[in-house]
């Protein structure tokens, strides 16, 4: 990635745009395949490779599809700024369900962790769900602990706080989009 966070965000935004185009051209928008995971991996960068055997991948992806479907039905095109307190709690619960899938033996996909799962969610619900990322947590001023490789320890535990922080900021600043907020927080100095 680039040294300048603005340049990095722009590059990653191109990767997200590629994924958005792919999603919009799928016959079943919420169906998932290895191609979805590869788009997410491209967007998230890093060294992770999706190495789940083909024989187990399809059944595991069904669990992720089920939660995507639940989110689609429950929030039906709403933006994060439009959610009330109870809906926000329900959204956080569904997002946690997805990040939990990345840890369970029956649904864990090798090379696909919680922050990758958040990118999958965000790509399918761009104005509803933020991407969970250390730079965005930093921009939102959410206190985290880092490991010796400067990665956030147990990043999934911060997803609820990030969703609440994004919602509060979006409600405070009328007209701000979740993607614009993502850029603003991503590009803040670490």
Residues 70-81: tens digit of each pLDDT: 999 999 999 999
What pLDDT sits at residue 31? 97
Q: Is the dihedral of CA 14, 109, 142, 121 positive or negative?
A: positive
- When comparing pLDDT for 2 and 10, which is higher? 10
pLDDT of residue 92: 98
For residues 83 and 117, the answer to whether their CB atoms sit within 8 Å is: no
Does residue 35 surpass a pLDDT of 80? yes
| pLDDT for res 49 | 87
- Domain ranges for the chain: 5-186
Q: What is the pTM of this model?
A: 0.95
Q: Is 175 left (phi over 0), alpha (psi -120 to 50) or beta?
A: left
Q: Is residue 128 scored above 60 in pLDDT?
A: yes
The C-alpha atoms of residue 105 and residue 87 are separated, in whole angstroms, by 29
pLDDT number for residue 50:
92
pLDDT in tens, 42-82: 999 767 789 999 999 999 999 999 999 999 999 999 999 99
Per-residue pLDDT at 2 exceeds 70: no
Q: Please state, in angstroms and rounded to a whole number, the distance separating the CA atoms of residues 43 and 124.
A: 14
Mean pLDDT, rounded, of the chain: 95
Task: Report pLDDT for 150.
Answer: 85
Residues 139-156 have pLDDT tens digits of 999 999 999 988 899 999
Please give the full DSSP string across 17-51, using - where no structure is assigned.
HHHHHHHHHSSSTT---HHHHHHHHHHH-SS----
- Spatial CA neighbour of 40 closest among 123, 109, 155: 123
Of the chain, the percentage scoring pLDDT greater than 70 comes to 98
pLDDT in tens, 153-179: 999 999 999 999 999 999 999 999 999
**Predicted local distance difference test score (pLDDT) of residue 117:** 97
């Amino acid at each position: 990635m680039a040294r300048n966070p603005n340049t990095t965000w722009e590059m990653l935004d191109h990767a997200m745009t590629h994924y958005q185009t792919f999603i919009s051209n799928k016959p079943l928008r919420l169906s998932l395949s290895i191609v979805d995971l590869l788009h997410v991996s491209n967007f998230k960068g890093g060294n992770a490779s999706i190495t789940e055997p083909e024989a187990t991948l399809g059944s595991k992806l069904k669990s992720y599809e089920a939660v995507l479907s639940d989110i689609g039905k429950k929030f039906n095109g709403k933006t994060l700024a439009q959610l009330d307190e109870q809906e926000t709690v329900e959204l956080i619960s569904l997002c946690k369900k997805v990040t939990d899938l990345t840890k369970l033996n029956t649904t864990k996909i090798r090379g696909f962790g919680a922050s990758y799962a958040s990118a999958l969610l965000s790509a399918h619900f761009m104005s509803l769900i933020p991407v969970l990322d250390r730079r965005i947590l930093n921009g939102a001023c959410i206190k985290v602990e880092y490991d010796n490789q400067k990665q956030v320890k147990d990043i999934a535990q911060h997803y609820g706080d990030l969703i609440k922080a994004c919602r509060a900021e979006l409600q405070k600043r009328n007209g701000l989009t979740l993607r614009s907020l993502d850029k603003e927080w991503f590009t803040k100095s670490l």
